[in-house]
Amino acid sequence: MKRHNPKRRPRRAPSFTPRELEITPQGTSHDGRAIGKMDGKTVFIAGALAGETVRVRLTAEQSRFAEARTLEVIESAPERVSPRCKHFGVCGGCQLQFMSREHQLAVKQQAVVDQLRRAQVEAPAQLAEPLAASAYGYRARARLAVKFDRLGEVTLGFRQFRDKQLVDLHQCPILQPALEPLIAPLGRWLQEHQLQAVTHIDLACDDQGAACVLRHLRPLPERALNDLAEWAQSHQTRIWLQGDKDPHLLRDTQGSRVDPRLRFALPESQLSLAYHPSDFTQVNPVINRQMIAQALDWLALEPGQVVVDCFCGIGNFTLPLAAGGARAIGLEAVESMVVRGRENAAANRLENAEFIARDLTQVSLKQVLAQTGSVDAFLLDPPRAGAPQVCEQLADTDLKRVLYVSCNPATLARDAKQLVDGGFALTRLGVMEMFPQTSHIETMALFERR
């Protein structure tokens, strides 16, 4: 057994001296950075496009690659556009505002295809038309961080690009119009009352308008809460406070315990879904509706057929599938999400929607299928880590169709390889512009048994 040597010095990262250079990148990485070469070493350049000539500053250097940021565009590419937000380049919320919308989608499509190719998974010859909507004013949810400096000056905003420091936001054009005007007055309220106990402010916009959840470590002064209540009334904004560790325990400005619900409609399915402000929901409601419609179209279930929706959350897919006539079974590891799904099924009078608390990383899929009976299709909408355990088990079943909704091309490719090796073929594939102006990539993939 290797013994610990207390005298051994820890390895140090190679010494790095920031420097500037001129470079012409020729490629694009999966996260939207341009790829160039420097002394035979790959350089990933933020804020540059392939084919441009740019002056950059190196920000990190390893033995095999380096990272850089664009300082000046000497010769621009036709795909370059002017960023709309004045915080762009400092704020880490958006990375791609300098790219035309068409180029953003092309980059994201290519990133998905490249990841699949590296995993030895053949993409369909024809990709589905990307799902797209408004490039700005789309985001219905956001979390802003709060920090006070030693002089008592407050900063309210997002983290800086690749940094823990905050950007003092004065605008955020990707937020929905009902949310962006709230940033400045909330910052003034924090400053006036020196509310260093507040750590984050969650903004949300649903079918009823704007809402805020203030996360705080200590009770807030009565005068500050009275001012906040008056401000909320004048701005027609619902306000709740979260001072407990449990994010589902909220209070109003008078200190009374509340259990509020936000709502979003799915008019195509004649549904209205309610959710707690701390529940996960998609941030882009327009693309979410398009995504659900495409999922129903690709699965093409007949009334009475059975579909299992894994990682179902509050029932974003489960309930529309049931509204379409299928028997829809939602599986979710988080008990509160299962409760919310059942609430929504009852409120929408869907007797053919069922929600079961199951974690398929801990429970055999065959056990679940034995409980549900014959299943015609399986839908997966996992977190960024993907669903390798589930896909491994799916390959062992006689299921005919698997629809995979992904927020990470790398884990999609890894899981797709398992499905393909298990006898499935990737027959339909398309990206979804859930997060315009950012490097996040959402994908829908349909696998059918060969």
Residue 94 annotated in ligand binding: yes
Residue 79 annotated in ligand binding: no
Could you give the CA distance from residue 234 to residue 236 in angstroms, rounded to a whole number?
A: 6
**How confident is the model over 369-374, as a mean pLDDT?**
84
Q: In the chain, what percentage of residues exceed pLDDT 90? A: 87
- CA 97 distance to own-chain centroid: 17
Residue 312 annotated in ligand binding: no
Could you give the CA distance from residue 367 to residue 78 in angstroms, rounded to a whole number?
A: 55
**pLDDT recorded at residue 380:** 96
Residue 230 annotated in ligand binding: no
Residue 148 annotated in ligand binding: no
Q: List, for residues 240-271, the tens digit of each pLDDT value.
A: 999 988 999 999 999 999 999 999 999 999 99
Which amino acid does the sequence have at 343?
E
Q: Which two three-digit tokens encode residue 175?
A: 């937020």
Q: List, for residues 124-170, the tens digit of each pLDDT value.
A: 999 999 999 999 999 999 999 999 999 999 999 999 987 889 999 98
**pLDDT recorded at residue 14:** 55
**How confident is the model over 310-331, as a mean pLDDT?**
97
pTM above 0.75, yes or no: yes
Averaged pLDDT of the chain: 93
pLDDT at 393 over 80: yes
Residue 381 annotated in ligand binding: yes
**pLDDT recorded at residue 128:** 97
Q: How many other β-carbons are positioned within 10 Å of the β-carbon of residue 174?
A: 24
Collect all residues with Cβ–Cβ distance below 8 Å to 8 and sequence separation of at least 6: none
**pLDDT recorded at residue 111:** 95
Among 409, 449, 430, smallest CA distance to 126 is for 430
pLDDT at 369 over 90: no
Q: What are phi and psi of 139, to 5 degrees?
A: -80, 120
**pLDDT recorded at residue 201:** 98
The length of the chain is 450
Of 114-123, 156-165, 349-358, the range with the lowest mean pLDDT is 156-165
Of 48-62, 128-142, 352-366, 430-444, the range with the lowest mean pLDDT is 352-366
pLDDT at 432 over 70: yes
**pLDDT recorded at residue 395:** 86
Of 30-34, 147-151, 237-241, the range with the lowest mean pLDDT is 30-34
Q: Is 119 helix (H, G, I), strand (E, B) or coil?
A: coil
Q: List, for residues 54-100, the tens digit of each pLDDT value.
A: 999 999 999 899 999 999 999 999 999 999 999 998 999 999 999 99
**How confident is the model over 9-31, as a mean pLDDT?**
79
Residue 359 annotated in ligand binding: yes
**How confident is the model over 373-382, as a mean pLDDT?**
94
pLDDT at 8 over 70: no
The residues that are catalytic are: 407
**How confident is the model over 226-237, as a mean pLDDT?**
95
How distant, in Å, are the alpha carbons of 99, 133, 155, 232 from that of 102?
8, 12, 34, 39
Q: List, for residues 395-404, the tens digit of each pLDDT value.
A: 888 899 999 9
Residue 91 annotated in ligand binding: yes
Domains of the chain, start order: 20-80 (2.40.50.140), 109-134+277-449 (3.40.50.150), 141-263 (2.40.50.1070)
pLDDT at 384 over 50: yes
Q: Which residue has the higher pLDDT, 448 or 30?
A: 448
Residue 348 annotated in ligand binding: no
How distant, in Å, are the alpha carbons of 193, 202, 224, 241, 244 from that of 218?
14, 17, 13, 11, 9
Q: Look up residue 277 and give its DSSP letter.
A: T
**pLDDT recorded at residue 9:** 55
The model's confidence at residue 1, banded by pLDDT at 50, 70 and 90, is very low
Q: List, for residues 273-302, the tens digit of each pLDDT value.
A: 999 999 999 999 999 999 999 999 999 999
Residue 212 annotated in ligand binding: no
pLDDT at 316 over 60: yes
